[in-house]
């Protein structure tokens, strides 16, 4: 082997990056804050019973058709005996809670501290209003206690929650549950891109993965999917996983 080749094989020394300031011990104490949020969430939601998580934009106004649709969805879910879990904020979240509240159902709000959004909407039950600092803990609560997931039109946060759930279902990390997209006009383009690009062109998903995201427009269609799902499986409702 030539000397040049030998030199190429020798490990090179780099000036590795360093933190701009020393990491303080207080970062370790953050774990106690994390544990306290988990405890609060579990203790509250363990008593609520089977729920359905409803995702959607915080920016949707009350006069928008999607807001009004979310109210009807919340009402329909409570008629079937499910509680409604939302992010607790305005927009679609408020609408889902409003539908549950107006129908005398259980209305849960998992609020996150953000600098540009206000606190929980007025339709969240006072004893089911939980505030979180950490997104990842909030996601656990969304997923663990939901017997189905309903995604109405939204932004980055809605897409984040949607694909988080799809990944967990696809990989078998949670019990298979219905994931339903509401709004054909809004979601059809995304599903077509998933089909033509992710599946057919790149092969990044399996054909059956498309079945994970049915698109509907009416509350009765939602309930038909949920009811048929549990009728076929004939299992008791239970949280999606154990930690």
Tokens 């809670």: give the residue.
97
Residues 200 and 193 sit within 8 Å (Cβ to Cβ): no
> What tokens does 197 get?
């690009």
Q: Is the pLDDT of residue 116 over 70?
A: no
Residue 14, pLDDT score: 80
d(CA 218, CA 216): 6
Residue 59, pLDDT score: 95
Q: Is the pLDDT of residue 77 over 80?
A: yes
Confidence of residue 114 (pLDDT cuts 50, 70, 90): confident
Q: Which of 31-35, 169-173, 216-220 is the most confident on average? A: 216-220
23-37, 113-127, 188-202: range with lowest mean pLDDT: 23-37
Q: DSSP letter string over 27-92?
A: HHHHHHHHHHHHHHHHHHHTTT-SEEEEE--TT--TTSHHHHHHHHHHHHHHHTT-EEEE-SSSTH
Confidence of residue 231 (pLDDT cuts 50, 70, 90): confident
Chain segment 125-162, per-residue pLDDT in tens: 999 999 999 999 999 999 999 999 999 999 999 999 99
Q: Which residue has the higher pLDDT, 233 or 224?
A: 224
Confidence of residue 1 (pLDDT cuts 50, 70, 90): low
Residue 3, pLDDT score: 58
Short-list 111, 218, 199, CA closest to 157: 111
Residue 94's φ and ψ, nearest 5 degrees, are -60, -40
Cα distance between the two ends of the chain: 55
The chain-wide mean pLDDT, for the chain, equals: 90
> What tokens does 210 get?
């498309």
Q: Is the pLDDT of residue 118 over 70?
A: no
Q: Is the pLDDT of residue 66 over 80?
A: yes
Residues 53-75 have a mean pLDDT of: 98
Chain segment 80-106, per-residue pLDDT in tens: 999 999 999 999 999 999 999 999 999
Task: Work out the percent of the chain whose per-residue pLDDT is above 90.
Answer: 76
Residue 13, pLDDT score: 75
pTM: 0.87
Chain segment 180-201, per-residue pLDDT in tens: 999 999 999 999 999 999 999 9
Domains of the chain listed by start with CATH number: 33-233 (3.40.50.450)
H and E: helices and strands count for the chain: 8, 7
The length of the chain, given as a count of residues = 243
Provide the strand spans (E) within the chain: 51-55, 83-86, 107-112, 129-132, 146-151, 179-182, 215-216
> What tokens does 32 get?
């106690």
């Amino acid at each position: 082997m030539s000397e040049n080749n030998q030199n190429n094989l020798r490990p090179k020394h780099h000036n590795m990056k360093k933190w701009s300031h020393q990491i303080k011990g207080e970062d370790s104490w953050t774990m106690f804050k994390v544990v306290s949020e988990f405890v609060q969430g579990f203790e509250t939601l363990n008593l609520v019973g089977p729920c359905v998580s409803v995702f959607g934009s915080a920016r949707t106004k009350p006069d928008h058709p999607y807001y009004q649709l979310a109210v009807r969805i919340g009402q329909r879910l409570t008629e079937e005996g499910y509680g409604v879990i939302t992010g607790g904020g305005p927009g679609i979240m408020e609408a889902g809670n409003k539908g549950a509240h107006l129908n005398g159902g259980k209305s849960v709000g998992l609020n996150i501290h953000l600098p540009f959004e206000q606190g929980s909407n007025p339709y969240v039950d006072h004893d089911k209003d939980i505030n979180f600092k950490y997104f990842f803990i909030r996601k656990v609560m969304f997923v663990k206690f939901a017997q189905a997931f309903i995604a109405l039109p939204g932004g980055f946060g809605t897409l984040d929650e949607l694909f988080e759930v799809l990944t967990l279902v696809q990989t078998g990390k949670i019990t298979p549950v219905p994931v339903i997209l509401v709004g054909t006009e809004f979601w059809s383009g995304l599903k077509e891109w998933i089909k033509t690009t992710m599946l057919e062109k790149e092969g990044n998903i399996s054909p059956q993965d498309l079945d994970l995201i049915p698109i509907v427009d009416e509350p009765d269609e939602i309930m038909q999917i949920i009811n048929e799902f549990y009728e076929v499986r004939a299992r008791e409702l239970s949280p999606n996983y154990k930690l």
